Structures are given as structure tokens and as C-alpha cells.
């Protein structure tokens, strides 16, 4: 087991190294130089230019630049964001917790909700309810993230002003509340974006889990369970779900890219001050180091996500655990 984890960790490291190479190639294949916009910008101070030149060694030969780039990355240095006039590491570092909260709530919520929906559907497989729910999950599955987020904001913040229109806290009152008030304020602002992202992810989970359950049901050990005299709900809950959860663990890893992408749009639309919001703003200001920093951090998150789900899978499946 430990050997397997070590192996997977080494694999993840290789992947991150390749990702770094890809981003380096991106930067250098671009027409001109993505920093030219910075270099020619009169608003960028001389010190910033100096820092950038020094950091990236822009006048050095390419291999040297690459080595420099990789060693900077290895030290957690992602470059200088000129729109924030701060290191990219700091900008993304302060935004990351918000993204993690949003993604975490949506991830947990969507798996719980999606699995429940799937169980409900399979217990009534072939019925009208099952078909309607399948149709609904396909509908949400097919929905572009930004469109659902726009509609959610429009409906529940403008037409029915239940939720705030955006941000992580109340811009004025937050400072004046006590601890309890602040927590409520945060949750109140988190609710709609998290629900939106959760709904999008639940559709995927429900579809996947329903298929996984239906895959398991014809198995011989399900027949054995029937033979023991268990009721259908007991069989579903105990025997089928337990086995059908294994592929779902893989889905945790697989869903990371989609979840992250979803978080980008949801953050933009709800002005949720996370990584996605920062990167989307950086697109507008052509703050290239910040964009590339976002790409790298996002890729690392995805890699870690799939690493995590592989390890969880190995732990959950007794056939692998004993290796």
C-alpha cells in the first residue's frame, strides 16, 4: 500500500513537471513576448520591469530561462502580478482558501445529493419518477456553468431577492458584526454560489452513480443477498451501494477539472473572491503571470485530486488494500 502511494506520488511529480514545461512553452511560443505588454506599459514602474527581467532572465538563452523558471516554480515562486503589484503567489494564496471552501462544499454536497438521487431512482427503476429524474439530471448535466450561474443569480438575487448579489461578505456591515454575525454573513454569501456549483456537479454524480448501481445489480452476490432473505432496500443500501461506491471514488478525481472550471465561472458571476475570480480579472488586464499561475495551481489541484481519489480507492477496495 505504502509502495503504491509512493509510486503514485512520483507519478504526480512527473505530471507537475510536464505541466511546468507546457506552461513554459506557452509563454515562449506566444507571438512576441507576453511580457511585452508589461514592458511597454508606461504605468509599470521601472522596479517591476527590473524584477521581471531578473526573475525570468528574459535576455538569457532559452535553456537557461527554462532552468530558472523551473527552479523558481520549485520554490513556489509564480512570478509578479503587475495588475495587483504583488507576487502571484500572494495573490493566488489569499484567494485559494475561498476557492477551496466553495469547491469543498460543492464537492461534498454534490456527492451526498447525487448518490441519494441515484439510490432513489434505482429503487424505482423504470418508473416515471426514475425517467423524470434522469431527464432532469441530463438537463443540468448539459448546462453550461456560466449560464446556470447567471440564471441562479438572476432568479434568486434579483427577481426574488433572497440571496446577496455577490461577494464573500457584506461590503459595509461585515466589519461591525460580532463573530456569530460574521459567520452567518459568510454562509449567507456562500449559499447561492455553492448551491449552483453543487447542482452542476450533482447531475454528474447522479448519472454516474445510477449507472454504477445498475451495473452492480445483476451480479451474483446480489442474488446471494436476495437468497438470504434481505429486502430490496436493504440489498440496495448494503450490498449494491457499497460496491457501486467504488467507481464513484474514481469520479471524485475525475470531477476535479470540471469542478474547478465550474468554480471559475461561478466565482466570476457571483464575484466570489477566489482563484477563478482573480484569473478572470487577470484576463481582462492581460496580467499574464497571474493567468499562468492560475493554470499551474489549477493543474496541481487536479493532479492532487486524482492522486487522492486513487489512494482512497485503494483503501476502500479490500482487493487492493491488502497489496
Partner 1 sequence: MPWQTQDFAAASGPTPQRESPLALSVRNILRKPSSRVALFVLGVIVLVGLLAPLIAPYNPAAQPDIVGLKDLPPSLAHPFGTDPYSRDVLSRVIYGARLSLMIGILATIVSLTLGVAYGAIAGYAGGILDAVMMRVLDAFLSIPRLLLLIGVLVAWPKLSIGALVVFLGLTGWFGLSRIVRGQVLALKHAEFVTAAQALGASRRRILWRHLLPNIVSPIVVAATLGVAHVIVLEAGLSYLGIGVPKPLASWGNIIQDGSDQFPTMWWMSLFPGLFMVLTVMTLNILAESLSDAYERRR
Partner 2 sequence: MTAPLLSIRNLRTWFYTEAGVARAVDGVSFDIGAGETLGLVGESGSGKSVTALSILRLIQPPGRIESGSVIEFEGKDIVTLGDDEIRDIRGNRISMIFQEPMSALNPVFTVGDQVAEVARVHGGMSRRDAWDRAVEMLALTGIPDADSRAKQYPHQLSGGMRQRVLIAMALMMKPALVIADEPTTALDVTIQAQILDLLVDLQKKIGTSILMITHDLGVIAETASRVIVMYAGEVVEQAEVDELFAKPQHPYTEGLMHSMPHIGHDQERLNVIPGTVPAPTEWPAGCRFRDRCPYSWDRCASEHPPLYQIGTGHVSRCHLAVEPERRNHPHPPVVVEAGVAAA
CA atoms of 194 and 205, how far apart (whole Å): 16
Question: 81 or 299: whose CB is closer to partner 1?
Answer: 299
Q: Which residues of 12-24 are buried (b: 16+ CB within 10 A; e: fewer)?
A: beebbeebbeebb
Q: Which residues of 221-232 are buried (b: 16+ CB within 10 A; e: fewer)?
A: ebeebeeeebee
- Smallest CA-to-CA distance from 153 within 273, 274, 264, 270 is with 270
Determine how many CB atoms are found less than 10 A away from the CB of residue 303.
19
CA atoms of 136 and 205, how far apart (whole Å): 13
Window of 83-91, 110-118, 145-153, 216-224 that interacts with partner 2 by CB under 8 A: 216-224
Q: Rule CB under 8 A: which residues touch partner 1? A: 11, 14-15, 18-19, 22-23, 26-27, 29-31, 34, 138-139, 141-147, 150-151, 153-154, 158, 257-258, 260-261, 264-265, 268, 279-280, 282-284, 286, 288, 291-292, 294-295, 298-299, 302-303, 306
Question: 157 or 316: whose CB is closer to partner 2?
Answer: 316
Window of 105-113, 187-195, 225-233, 307-315 that interacts with partner 2 by CB under 8 A: 225-233
147 binds partner 2 (CB under 8 A): no
Q: How many residues bind partner 2 (CB under 8 A)?
A: 21
Q: Which of 60, 124, 131, 228 binds partner 2 (CB under 8 A)?
A: 228
Sign of CA dihedral 226, 230, 236, 238: negative
16 binds partner 2 (CB under 8 A): no
Question: Residue 70's binding partner, choosing from partner 2, partner 1, none, with beta-carbon cut-off 5 to 8 A by kind?
Answer: none
Residues 277/267, Cβ–Cβ less than 8 Å: yes
| Residue 316, CA distances (Å) to 243, 295, 323 in order | 10, 31, 12
Question: Residue 228's binding partner, choosing from partner 2, partner 1, none, with beta-carbon cut-off 5 to 8 A by kind?
Answer: partner 2
Residue 209 CB, shortest distance to partner 2, in Å, is: 16
Determine how many CB atoms are found less than 10 A away from the CB of residue 310.
21
Question: Residue 319's binding partner, choosing from partner 1, partner 2, none, with beta-carbon cut-off 5 to 8 A by kind?
Answer: partner 2
231 binds partner 2 (CB under 8 A): yes
Question: Residue 318's binding partner, choosing from partner 1, partner 2, none, with beta-carbon cut-off 5 to 8 A by kind?
Answer: partner 2
Amino acid at each position: 500500500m505504502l509502495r503504491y502511494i509512493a509510486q503514485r506520488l512520483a507519478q504526480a511529480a512527473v505530471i507537475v513537471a510536464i505541466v511546468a514545461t507546457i506552461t513554459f512553452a506557452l509563454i515562449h511560443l506566444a507571438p512576441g513576448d507576453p511580457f511585452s505588454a508589461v514592458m511597454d506599459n508606461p504605468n509599470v514602474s521601472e522596479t517591476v520591469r527590473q524584477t521581471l527581467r531578473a526573475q525570468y532572465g528574459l535576455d538569457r538563452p532559452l535553456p537557461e530561462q527554462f532552468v530558472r523558471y523551473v527552479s523558481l516554480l520549485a520554490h513556489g515562486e509564480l512570478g509578479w502580478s503587475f495588475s495587483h503589484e504583488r507576487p502571484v503567489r500572494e495573490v493566488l494564496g489569499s484567494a485559494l482558501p475561498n476557492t477551496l471552501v466553495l469547491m469543498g462544499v460543492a464537492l461534498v454536497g454534490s456527492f451526498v445529493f447525487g448518490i441519494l438521487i441515484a439510490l432513489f431512482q434505482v429503487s424505482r427503476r423504470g418508473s416515471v419518477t426514475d425517467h423524470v429524474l434522469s431527464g432532469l439530471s441530463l438537463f443540468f448535466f448539459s448546462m453550461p456553468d456560466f449560464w446556470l450561474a447567471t440564471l441562479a443569480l438572476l432568479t434568486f438575487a434579483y427577481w426574488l431577492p433572497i440571496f446577496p448579489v455577490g461577494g464573500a461578505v457584506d461590503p459595509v456591515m461585515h466589519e461591525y458584526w460580532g463573530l456569530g454575525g460574521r459567520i452567518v454573513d459568510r454562509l449567507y454569501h456562500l449559499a447561492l454560489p455553492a448551491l449552483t456549483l453543487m447542482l452542476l456537479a450533482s447531475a454528474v454524480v447522479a448519472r454516474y452513480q445510477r449507472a454504477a448501481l445498475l451495473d452492480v445489480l445483476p451480479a451474483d452476490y446480489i442474488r446471494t443477498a436476495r437468497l438470504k432473505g434481505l429486502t430490496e432496500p436493504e440489498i440496495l443500501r448494503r450490498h449494491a451501494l457499497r460496491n457501486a461506491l467504488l467507481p464513484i471514488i474514481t469520479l471524485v478525481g475525475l470531477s476535479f477539472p470540471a469542478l474547478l472550471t465550474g468554480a471559475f465561472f461561478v466565482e466570476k458571476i457571483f464575484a466570489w473572491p477566489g482563484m477563478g475570480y482573480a484569473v478572470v480579472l487577470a484576463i481582462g488586464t492581460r496580467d499574464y503571470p497571474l493567468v499562468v499561475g492560475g493554470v499551474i495551481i489549477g493543474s496541481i489541484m487536479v493532479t492532487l485530486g486524482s492522486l487522492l481519489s486513487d489512494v482512497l480507492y485503494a483503501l476502500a477496495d479490500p482487493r487492493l488494500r491488502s497489496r
